[in-house]
Amino acid sequence: MEKLKIKETTKTPSVSFDPEHGLFEIRGKSIPENSSGFYGPLIQYVEKYAGNPAARTVLSVRFEFFNTSSSNRIHALFKRFERIFLADRDVLIRWYCENSDDNMRDAGRDFKAILQVPFEIVEVDEL
């Protein structure tokens, strides 16, 4: 599989997926007008990756903020990583949030509570 890179815009996050090394990153704001249009191809990409994942898969997520429709698609994306984990593969989701951002910390906790995949919440001074 080829790497996937998408540049950040004012409404969508940057995406860097490196399947060979099992490194996936999403960073920025997520307020697209069509969240399914943005996240649909990412979900399809991870579904394809799941057929032959790396020995270890790490998804790092660094959202400044996201809207409700993005939340639904983010959850759907996380579920694809969960499926890889449930197939006895080594998977970790790292949710980065700023120390002072209670909303993003709570969002991470909510995702962690409903997923069956190792999920770390990492608090940092600045994203």
CA-closest candidate to residue 14, choices 32, 4, 27: 27
In this prediction, residue 121 carries a pLDDT of 98
* For residues 82-111, average pLDDT: 98
Q: Is the pLDDT of residue 123 over 90?
A: yes
In this prediction, residue 127 carries a pLDDT of 85
Domains and CATH numbers, the chain: 11-122 (3.30.750)
CA dist 77 → 101, 115, 116 (Å)? 23, 11, 13
In this prediction, residue 31 carries a pLDDT of 98
In this prediction, residue 120 carries a pLDDT of 98
